[in-house]
């Protein structure tokens, strides 16, 4: 794997080593798999009954599938979960970062599903992962059965003040990085182990600088899968009220939750999201 998304080879090893340590602490049995794709190797965690309906989970930028640790036990009780490390992010997948303006990520997800033997699945995506899941639902409607998004990019207006503040704080060591992360993530409690690992990542990782493309009205109208969206009212990176307004107008049947005490990185919608995944499709 290339080290170009990291500041150094030792930094990559530190991120990956801590990731593997965190995976050992999960309370559900995990199956680890590395599968070939046209963008390079992709790391996938799986849990839940093998014959249960499949759900593909996509994390946000600057993170990996460790974010699903607290929710995987509940969701995997009724669903087969496939937690995919997004390429070009600090997980265990290839460092490839194709253009977000292209269909490269949809073709990559085609490869992932094909290798897993999954014709179609429900998708859950956070932030960048929400953008990727939405893009896939638009380009591959027959492969997305349900779509659940948390703080998805590409729908509402982006906010820049928190990012600029974080950039000012980042050079001031771990204390500055910790403050920067809390500024960006906004209100809500981030567990200490998660914050500690995020500091390891951001000490060693080179983040993306490309802007997420904004979906057009026609793009969003083209989503045919049942839609669940959770938004933090205190999100400092994305305008959640604008996201909710666009989706209410373009996807009137969507379930939209605007959570008062949530920011960009802390959500209390796990039970509602699980209920959405379990809901039977209307004939």
Classify burial at 211, counting beta carbons within 10 Å of its beta carbon; exposed 0-12, middle 13-18, buried 19 or more. Answer: exposed
What b/e readout covers 72-95, taking b as 16+ CB neighbours within 10 angstroms? Answer: beebbeebbbbbbbbbbbbbbbbb
Classify burial at 268, counting beta carbons within 10 Å of its beta carbon; exposed 0-12, middle 13-18, buried 19 or more. Answer: middle
Residue bearing the bigger pLDDT, 271 or 160:
271
Residue range 9-278 in CATH 1.10.10.10: no
Residue bearing the bigger pLDDT, 236 or 94:
94
Give 77-88 pLDDT, tens digit per residue: 999 999 999 999
**Is pLDDT at 1 greater than 50 in this prediction?**
no
Whether the Cβ atoms of residue 157 and residue 238 lie closer than 8 Å to each other: yes
Q: How confident is the model at residue 19 (pLDDT cuts 50, 70, 90)?
A: very high
pTM of the shown model:
0.90
**To the nearest whole percent, how much of the chain has pLDDT over 70?**
84
Structure tokens at 22: 């965190």
- pLDDT at position 202 is 84
- pLDDT at position 283 is 32
Q: What is the CA radius of gyration of the chain?
A: 18
Closest CA to 60 of 151, 195, 146: 151
Q: How confident is the model at residue 176 (pLDDT cuts 50, 70, 90)?
A: low
Give, in order, the Cα–Cα distances in Å from 243 to each of 187, 231, 238: 18, 8, 8
Q: How confident is the model at residue 191 (pLDDT cuts 50, 70, 90)?
A: low
């Amino acid at each position: 794997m290339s080290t170009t998304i990291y500041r150094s080879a030792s930094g990559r090893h530190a991120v990956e080593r801590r990731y593997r340590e965190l995976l050992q602490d999960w309370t559900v049995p995990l199956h680890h798999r590395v599968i070939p794709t046209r963008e390079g190797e992709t790391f996938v965690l799986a849990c839940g009954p093998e014959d249960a309906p499949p759900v593909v989970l996509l994390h946000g930028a600057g993170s990996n599938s460790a974010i699903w640790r607290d929710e995987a036990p509940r969701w995997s009780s009724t669903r087969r979960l496939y937690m995919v490390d997004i390429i070009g992010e600090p997980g265990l997948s290839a460092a490839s970062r194709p253009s977000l303006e292209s269909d490269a990520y949809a073709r990559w997800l085609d490869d992932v599903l094909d290798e897993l033997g999954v014709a179609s699945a429900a998708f859950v995506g956070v932030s960048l992962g929400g953008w990727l899941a939405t893009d896939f639902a638009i380009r591959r409607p027959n492969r997305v059965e349900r779509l659940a998004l948390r703080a998805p990019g590409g729908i509402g207006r982006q906010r820049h003040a928190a990012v600029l503040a974080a950039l000012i704080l980042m050079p001031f060591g771990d204390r500055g990085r910790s403050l920067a992360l809390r500024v960006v993530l906004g209100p809500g409690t981030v567990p200490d182990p998660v914050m500690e690992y995020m500091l390891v990542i951001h000490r060693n990782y080179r983040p993306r600088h490309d802007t997420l493309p904004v979906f057009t009205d026609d793009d969003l109208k083209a989503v045919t899968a049942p839609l669940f969206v959770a938004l933090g009212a205190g999100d400092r990176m994305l305008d959640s009220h604008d996201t909710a307004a666009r989706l209410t107008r373009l996807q009137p049947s969507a379930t939209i939750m605007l959570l008062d005490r949530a920011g960009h990185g802390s959500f209390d919608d796990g039970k509602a999201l699980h209920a959405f995944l379990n809901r039977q499709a209307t004939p």
